[in-house]
Chains A and B, each alone.
Chain A
Amino acid sequence: MEAIWLYQFRLIVIGDSTVGKSCLIRRFTEGRFAQVSDPTVGVDFFSRLVEIEPGKRIKLQIWDTAGQERFRSITRAYYRNSVGGLLLFDITNRRSFQNVHDWLEEARSHVQPHSIVFLLVGHKCDLEAQRQVSRQEAEKLAGAYGMRYVETSARDAINVEHAFTELTRDIFALVRSGDITIQEGWEGVKSGFVPNVVHSSEEVTKSDRRCLC
């Protein structure tokens, strides 16, 4: 049976290649850390339910993208239908941090007429000794673009749940306040079954069955 969820949000995960996008998603959706994983070629898809308040579940559809620049011709088609995004950089790789601005530009120019709620993620925070980007610096950049900033580690499972849940909560608040609305032909947000609606839909199926008999 399909689990009950209030809304479905579509998220996209972007950032330079080898910053650990796939590993972060795998940790979140499968609960494990893959020491060796194939490089993402094109796009991949994952999903998971998140409970943001007791009894309020959101289904997340997560699109994983290839980070290498030349794959952008493929991945850019996926911005338009995303409501949220995790923008990753590797705290041990300064260049991936410098490219954050480019990624935002890339997203902004392909998401029209919609917009994406981004969360800036400094990944691989277990490798403190090799850090090349300070937390203050990253927070400052995130602030300048109106994003939150979270540091995560897929290997040590630090803040992985937190990152996805925070982003989901932010989007949920925007949906509730009406800043984000469900639109026909847009996959970003879809409404699901609310528990009491499920009741009635069950009744509908039952009555359907009766009719068939």
Chain B
Amino acid sequence: MYPCSSTALQRSLLHEQLEVRYRAMKRKWQLFLPSSVRMHLNGTDAELAAAVGYFEQRQAQVQQQTQHRSEEVRDRLAFLELQAQILFERFTFDCEELSEAIRIIDKDVPRTNRDLSYFQEQGLGNLLVLRDILITYAAFHPEVSYAQGMNDLCSRFLEVLDSEVDTFWSFSCYMEKFSKDFRADGLHRKIELEAALLKELDPQLYTHLATDNMENFTFCHRWLLLGFQREFEHSDALRLFEILSCDHLELISQQVDQARYRERLARRLSTDDRSECELPAINTDFTFELFICAAILLENRESLLRCRDDVQLIQFTSRLQGTLDLNSTLKKAELHFYNYCKRCAWDYGNGHCRAQESKDEDFLYQLRSLFLLR
């Protein structure tokens, strides 16, 4: 939520700004839909009524604390407040869309990870915090709004950070990268990508699973969308989520650039090919969670090959829930990942040599490699 280059001093100020901004955003939709400020309860869930109680108590406490601020702090906050108001002044909401999102959020929030201690007893109030975060996000991102499953993702940030403001901004940053997966076209695209990756890694298994609509890959859709939350034990799932959200092993990350660079270097030394500078044809859409998914599929390849229809597939994969070991899966996924990078570098190298032979006279080609050499 902070820029990488920011200093500790800047961050405390930035945090103040983000906090004020978030409060301004929240207030804006609350003024727009006053009837939705409080959660809609249907009266059958006594715990939830208690949750509302805890939540309101906590809000009253926060209110009290704000009264003890020094004048200097108050002035600064007033300025930030004004800034935030101007920033969001022109933002308008679509009443019907937002009400529908809130309706679904109100149904989903009470069924979010209620078995975790973070959401029990006094912690029940955290469900209401989650609700406010999700609504604020939906209100200010109408192109994504709210999709079922986001409650799961967002609750993980909240559990770890235990702060409404930090969770909102971290979740927003995370969604910058993943929100397209939650949109109608993105959901299917994710499955197609997984299928494409599997085709690279194991053509036989791919042929076995592939159909026109890729419906045989539907089973891994939930794994991908929710970051395997329901497949691993909770603490492992959290760890995996952290790994996935930190961009460590992505095809756009530094590690990969280094690995590809080393590969190219080795290649260059062995063939004495000096015109090496273009990036290999690598599909950067293959994000790391696709490799995790592929590692799980390949690990169970024999069983999957024995499945004769989609029913057997979905039954097999639901039996996997809770049986997977994170460390070994990660190791395998990492291996597949590096192998894919290496192969791309090799393929590129080979293609490049051939191109060199056949297109020696090609003026455009020469021009291009000259240009790239700079």
Bound-state CA distance A38–B100 (Å) is 19
Of the candidates A39, A42, A76, which one forms a contact with B111 in the assembled complex, judged by CB atoms under 8 Å apart? A39
**Segment at the A interface, from B144-152, B194-202, B268-276, B299-307:** B144-152
Chain A residues closer than 8 Å to B149, beta-carbon distance = 39, 41
Q: How far is the CB of A30 from chain B (nearest CB, A)?
A: 14
Chain B residues closer than 8 Å to A187, beta-carbon distance = 309-310
Most buried by A among B108, B110, B148, B187: B148
Contacts A42-B222, A68-B147 given; 7 further ones with Cβ under 8 A?
A: A39-B111, A39-B149, A41-B222, A43-B314, A68-B148, A70-B183, A187-B310
Most buried by B among A42, A45, A76, A130: A42
Chain A residues closer than 8 Å to B107, beta-carbon distance = 17-18, 39
Of the candidates A18, A40, A61, A72, which one forms a contact with B311 in the assembled complex, judged by CB atoms under 8 Å apart? A61
Q: How many residues of B contact A (CB 8 A)?
A: 38
Bound-state CA distance A101–B191 (Å) is 29
Assess the A77–B213 pair: CB atoms within 8 A.
yes
Interface on B for A, CB 8 Å cutoff? 42, 44-45, 100, 103-104, 107-108, 110-111, 114, 147-149, 151-152, 182-185, 187-188, 191, 213-215, 218, 221-222, 225-226, 230, 309-311, 314-315, 318
Bound-state CA distance A184–B221 (Å) is 28
Q: How far is the CB of B97 from chain A (nearest CB, A)?
A: 11
Bound-state CA distance A130–B41 (Å) is 13
Q: How far is the CB of A83 from chain B (nearest CB, A)?
A: 14
Assess the A73–B185 pair: CB atoms within 8 A.
yes
Q: List 20 A-B contacts (CB under 8 A).
A: A35-B45, A36-B114, A39-B148, A41-B149, A41-B226, A42-B222, A43-B314, A44-B314, A68-B147, A68-B148, A69-B184, A70-B147, A70-B184, A73-B188, A74-B188, A74-B221, A77-B214, A77-B218, A130-B42, A187-B310
Assess the B184–A72 pair: CB atoms within 8 A.
yes
Chain B residues closer than 8 Å to A160, beta-carbon distance = none
Q: How far is the CB of A87 from chain B (nearest CB, A)?
A: 19
Assess the B148–A41 pair: CB atoms within 8 A.
yes
Assess the A37–B182 pair: CB atoms within 8 A.
no
Closest residue of B by beta carbon distance from A18: B107
Chain B residues closer than 8 Å to A18, beta-carbon distance = 103-104, 107-108
Bound-state CA distance A44–B218 (Å) is 10
Assess the B182–A70 pair: CB atoms within 8 A.
yes
Bound-state CA distance A36–B47 (Å) is 12
Q: How far is the CB of B86 from chain A (nearest CB, A)?
A: 33
